């Protein structure tokens, strides 16, 4: 026999949680021990927001489920900014939050945890009883891993203390088949692509996978399309000579010029929001816009589109490839190739160095760091006025080497972000790009960096 609290931790560890992050209190003590006994490495943070942010970054840069364990009441509210960032960024996470016992309305810790989770875009779930705890956890796991949701699982104290037989490990998560686009969408998309002379593909968060990248590279070559990413997907297309890097406010002058020159822009798992399209200024008059997404509500949510395709990025790219002629040059001319090679990086763009002997120009500093630091790096980015410099002037090896926590645009998450990313990519040098306010807001996690022995550049 064991307690439900301990069994909850064991079960979540069996979901494949190599790491779990949290701050331990009396309410989540037994769940945390269950995670450890189940094989998860527990990373104690100095603040619950740091724990949630570490788990978010770990999930984004590893492709695994993020796991957090929290005390009830104030433990959950302390973590809310990190949870909100994860929820807005569609990060698959399980937050194991203790909850007050039923009938304990006058407890200091008593708040409506379900309502709080829902209010920030997370999915509230609950362990309802000792007899249902495993089914409840499997349901929460399937929501998180099947839909990319951040799920808060509330586990009341009185249920945690119930004695139950130790359960066998649950069946591993089995993802459903990827969403295929319908024939009409494929045909319409194919016509637009076939008729385009200057197509540009913009890959977003929904394209951050190896199958999606490979499918987009193949279709773009077939269709003669240039390539760009949203900031959240920076690094995805590294290595392609037709990669313009980030589209939007961080775009190079050349990238902005070529995107504005497109007669067809396709957003692949990309919202095409005001940041990625510079408030719409990157879409020229007469340019056709196609958006591919697995969320019907996302299609056309930020701007008018000519065609919305409900489908998985890889499935859609492969389906459309059968409707497009092979080997068309289109936007991939020798002149464009030469310009990308010569002007495609921000460091290639001339600037007036404003250093005065006492202060260094941040562009010069960032270029110098890019030259000095190993290329095999993983960067966590905070929010603030400084953030353009690392986004524009620091290279990353791939999409798992860049963690862009701007879903909620909160200052203070950069250091914890880099800790989570460092654990997900242990062979890479972790680089925390933070401003003065952000580092002070998150400074308590410097202790976590030291305890973990991370060779981090801040």
Specify the CATH number for 2-164; select among 3.40.50.970, 3.10.20.30, 1.10.510.10, 2.60.120.260. 3.40.50.970
| pLDDT on residue 104 | 77
- Return the SS3 of 310: strand
Place of tokens 């079960």: 11
| pLDDT on residue 338 | 97
The CA-atom distances, in angstroms, between 263 and each of 176, 271, 285, 296, 458 are 35, 19, 9, 24, 42
| pLDDT on residue 301 | 95
CATH architecture of 183-345: 3-Layer(aba) Sandwich (3.40)
- Return the SS3 of 442: coil
CATH fold label, 355-452: Rossmann fold (3.40.50)
| pLDDT on residue 68 | 99
| pLDDT on residue 151 | 99
Place of tokens 């005001």: 274
Identify any residues that bridge with 309 across adjacent strands, giving them in sequence order. Answer: 292
The size of the chain, in residues, is 458
| pLDDT on residue 46 | 98
Identical fold between 2-164 and 183-345? yes
Segments making up each domain of the chain, as ranges: 2-164, 183-345, 355-452
Angle, CA of 10, 12 and 14, to the nearest 5°? 70
Q: Give this prediction's pTM.
A: 0.95
- Return the SS3 of 244: strand
Question: Residue 352, by phi and psi: left (phi above 0), alpha (psi -120 to 50) or beta?
Answer: beta
Place of tokens 């240039």: 226
| pLDDT on residue 23 | 98
- Return the SS3 of 249: coil
Per the CB < 8 A criterion, the answer to whether 51 and 22 are in contact is: yes
> What is the chain's pLDDT, residue by residue, as a tens digit (458 residues)?
899 999 999 999 999 999 999 999 999 999 999 999 999 999 999 999 999 999 999 999 999 999 999 999 999 999 999 999 999 999 999 999 999 988 878 888 889 999 999 999 999 999 999 999 999 999 999 999 999 999 999 999 999 999 998 888 888 888 889 999 999 999 999 999 999 999 999 999 999 999 999 999 999 999 999 999 999 999 999 999 999 999 999 999 999 999 999 999 999 999 999 999 999 999 999 999 999 999 999 999 999 999 999 999 999 999 999 999 877 789 999 999 999 999 999 999 999 999 998 999 999 999 999 999 999 999 999 999 999 999 999 999 999 999 998 999 999 999 999 999 999 999 999 999 999 999 999 999 999 999 999 999 99
């Amino acid at each position: 026999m064991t307690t439900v609290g301990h069994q909850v931790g064991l079960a979540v560890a069996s979901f494949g949680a190599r790491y779990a992050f949290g701050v331990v209190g009396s309410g989540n003590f037994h769940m945390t021990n269950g995670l450890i006994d189940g094989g998860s490495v527990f990373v104690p943070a100095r603040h619950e927001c740091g724990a949630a942010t570490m788990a978010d970054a770990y999930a984004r840069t590893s492709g695994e489920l993020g796991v957090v364990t929290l005390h009830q009441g104030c433990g959950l509210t302390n973590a809310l900014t990190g949870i909100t960032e994860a929820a807005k960024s569609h990060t698959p996470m399980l937050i194991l939050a203790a909850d007050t016992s039923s009938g304990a309305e006058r407890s200091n810790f008593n708040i409506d945890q379900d309502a709080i989770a829902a209010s920030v875009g997370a999915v509230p779930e609950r362990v309802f009883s000792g007899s249902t705890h495993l089914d409840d956890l499997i349901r929460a796991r399937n929501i998180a891993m099947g839909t990319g949701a951040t799920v808060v699982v509330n586990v009341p104290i009185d249920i945690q203390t119930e004695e139950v037989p130790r359960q066998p490990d649950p069946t591993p998560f089995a993802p459903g088949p990827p969403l295929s686009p319908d024939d009409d969408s494929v045909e319409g998309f194919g016509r637009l692509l076939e008729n385009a002379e200057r197509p540009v593909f913009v890959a977003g968060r929904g394209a951050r996978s190896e199958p999606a990248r490979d499918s987009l590279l193949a279709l773009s070559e077939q269709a003669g399309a240039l390539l760009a990413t949203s900031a959240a997907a920076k690094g995805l297309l590294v290595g392609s000579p037709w990669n313009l890097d980030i589209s939007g406010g961080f775009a190079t002058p050349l990238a902005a010029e070529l995107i504005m020159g497109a007669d067809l822009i396709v957003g692949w798992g990309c919202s095409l929001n005001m940041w990625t399209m510079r408030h719409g200024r990157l879409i020229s008059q007469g340019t056709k816009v196609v958006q591919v997404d697995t969320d019907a509500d996302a299609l056309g949510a930020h701007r008018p589109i000519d065609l919305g395709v409900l489908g998985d990025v890889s499935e859609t790219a492969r389906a459309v490839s059968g409707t497009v002629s092979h080997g068309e040059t289109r936007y991939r001319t020798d002149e464009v190739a030469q310009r990308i090679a010569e002007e495609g990086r921000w460091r290639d763009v001339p600037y007036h160095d404003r250093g005065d002997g006492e202060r260094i120009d941040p562009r010069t500093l960032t270029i110098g760091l890019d030259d000095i630091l190993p290329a095999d790096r993983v960067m966590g980015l905070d929010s603030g006025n400084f953030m353009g410099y690392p986004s524009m002037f620091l290279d990353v090896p791939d999409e798992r080497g860049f963690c862009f926590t701007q879903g909620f645009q909160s200052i203070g998450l950069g250091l914890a972000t880099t800790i989570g990313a460092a654990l997900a990519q242990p062979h890479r040098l972790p680089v925390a790009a933070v401003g003065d306010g952000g580092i002070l807001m998150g400074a308590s996690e410097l202790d976590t960096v030291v305890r973990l022995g991370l060779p981090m550049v801040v």
